[in-house]
Each structure stands twice: as structure tokens, then as C-alpha cells.
Amino acid sequence: MPNQANASPSSSGPTKGRKRRVQSVLEVIRTEQLTPHMVRVVLGGDQFEAIEFKDGTDQYIKLLFADPALGLERPYDMEELRERLPAEQMPVQRTYTIRHIDWGHQHIWVDFVIHGDEGVAGPWAAAAQPGDRISFFGPGVGYTPRPEADFHLLAGDEAALPAIAAALEGMAEEARGVAVIEVRDASEEVPLTAPTGVEVQWLHRGGDFTPESTLLTDRLLTLELPEGDVQVFIHGEREQMKRIRKLLVQDWGMARKGMSLSAYWAYGRIEDQFQAEKKTALGKIDPEG
């Protein structure tokens, strides 16, 4: 494995009024082809012990990718790079859930959905080799199942599958709920460990996602949720999340506060367009937000 003596955690550079962001560097230990369109990258290295992990099943990291032609060294000094590189050459960030933390081996697992050469992170994961280095900010945490909840509603497409899998594993044995997961076909299903009281439903589109082929929102329309404290974790394609938000909040009268409901991607948009649109009305899940 490469010498990591120079790969100590780094901040993105001190900026007045801005919280220091720690950038960690790990290396690829191995990769696993989980399904035809999902690859697991196992990361480890000397910096594992310095990472400040959070309490929560949806721990996410912001992976950094730069144009290899620029020859930039990790960890990236983001402030220095901003001073000398045009915006289009800056390293880009892609957010991924940590699927699992292997404390014994000091590894983290990150699962990537692969769509050929599309995007930045997927092709990197598909081609990753042991010893390759990757840097990231985080982790942050966005969700963890509450043991006192009466019922758990989880749903999403392939992009949300790693987070749903981690959530199911983190639930109390007596938990009750349902997890609805949409994938291309049966070959894209992965083994899941869930409490006996949580039903896992797989939906098969039969091909690539399109607004016409998706089944997720229509299946949620058929669910009958119990009375009481229902904790929600639903993530996926942006327009579907808008429809689901309307269903849960406006039609069913559920409280928006406390829901983990957001878009991981948008149909017909490359990642950079999707990220830019988050700041606009088009990119917001909540009409008032």
C-alpha cells in the first residue's frame, strides 16, 4: 500500500467566520460487485482512527473528485485551489452514505450505483483498485431510527438502498414498519437484515428509471399506516420526492418536521445541474422552502 505519511487530515483552509472542515484521506482496500449496477468500495488506512464518526445510521461523507489531468495531490487545499483555479476545475463533491463501519478492521464500506460512464463517482468506483486514494469531508449524520417510534416508513430507489440497509440493521429488534425499495429488477436486490416486524417490499421497474416506469410513489399510495408515531425516511429522485411529500404532508396530514425526506438525484439532470438547482425553487422538495 502507498505510504500515507503525508496524508494526514487536513482542513480546507482557514477562512474567517467559516467552521474548519476536516478532510480525511483513505485508500481502497478492495471492491465488491454487489449487483450488476452496484459496487462496494471498502476504504481504510492510517487516518481511520482520526475520523470523527457520528451516532446515526445515515452517516454521510462528501467525496472529492478532481480532474486527474491537473495532477492535484490529496488532501486538497481547497482555499489555495480556489485562488488559482477557475471554478470549473475545482474538485467536485459527491455525497454518499457510509453503508457500514467495520470497527475490527478499521474499514468503511461505501456502495455506489453505476451507470456506465455517467457521472464522476460511479466511474471512479467501477475502476477503483487497491491502493487508490480518496479524500472526503465528514461524516455528517442525517437520520437514525428512533427506538420509541411506533412505526418506521422507509422508501427509496437504488440511490437510497445503502442508507435503508444501514437503517434496518440499526433498528431495535422489536421495531415495526415497512421498507419499500425500487430497483431495476430482481438482480439488483441485495440481502437485507431487518427486524421481524419490518416488512421489506421490492419493486421492479423492469429497466432504467423513467417518470413512466417508476413504481415507488404509486406503491406508497396503497399503504395503510397505523396511528401513532410514524418515523419517515424516504429518499430518491427529485420529482418523486415532491409527489411523496405532497402525499404524506398534504394528503395524509403527517407532520413534515422530523421526516428525513429529500432528493438524491434528478431525472434528466447531470449531477452538477442537480446540485446547482438545489438553490432554486425547482430544486426544492418543500414548496415553502
Residues 214-246: b if buried by 16+ CB within 10 A, e if exposed: bebbeebeeeebeeeebbbbbbbbbbbbbbbbe
Question: Average pLDDT for residues 33-38, to the nearest whole number?
Answer: 98
**Integer Cα distance of 78 and 13 in angstroms:** 7
Q: What is the mean pLDDT of the chain?
A: 91
C-alpha cell recorded at residue 273: 445541474
* CB environment 49-86: b (16+ within 10 A), e (fewer): eebeeeebbbbbbbbbbbeeeeebebbbebeebeeeee
Segment 43-51 mean pLDDT: 97
> pLDDT > 90: what percent of the chain?
82
In the predicted model, is pLDDT for residue 1 greater than 60? Answer: no
Domain extents in the chain: 23-142, 145-279
Note whether 172 and 148 are within 8 A (CB).
no
Higher local confidence (pLDDT), 43 or 3: 43
pLDDT at 96 over 90: yes
Write out pLDDT tens, residues 183-200.
Answer: 999 999 999 999 999 999
pLDDT over 90 (residue 120)? yes
For 67-91, the pLDDT digits (tens) are: 999 999 999 999 999 999 999 999 9
- At 178, is the secondary structure helix, strand, or coil? strand
Q: What are phi and psi of 123, to 5 degrees?
A: -60, -35
Separation of alpha carbons 215 and 181, rounded Å: 10
Using CA atoms, how far apart are residues 194 and 167, in angstroms rounded to an integer? 9
The answer, yes or no, to whether residue 17 has pLDDT greater than 60, is no
Position 115 scores a pLDDT of 87
23-142 has CATH 3.40.50.2300 classification = no
Strand partners, 134: 26
Query: What is the per-residue pLDDT for 142?
Result: 87
Residue 13 has pLDDT above 50, yes or no: no
The residue-averaged pLDDT of 144-162 equals: 97
CA distance 165 to 163: 5
Q: Kindly indicate the confidence band of residue 18, based on its pLDDT and cuts at 50, 70 and 90.
A: low
Which of 13-22, 125-134, 278-287 is predicted least confidently? Answer: 13-22
CATH code of the domain occupying 145-279: 3.40.50.80
Rounded to an integer, the average pLDDT of 224-249 is 96
Measured at the alpha carbon of residue 33, what is the angle toward residues 101 and 239, in degrees to the nearest 5? Answer: 80
Confidence of residue 19 (pLDDT cuts 50, 70, 90): low
Alpha carbons 40 and 108: distance in angstroms, whole number: 10
- At 7, is the pLDDT very low, low, confident or very high (cuts 50, 70, 90)? very low
Q: Is the dihedral of CA 82, 85, 86, 89 positive or negative?
A: negative
Note the pTM of the prediction, 2 decimals: 0.90
DSSP 179-234: EEEEESSGGG-------TTEEEEEEE-SSS--TTT--HHHHHHT--PPSS-EEEEE
- CA separation for the pair 278, 289 (Å, rounded): 11
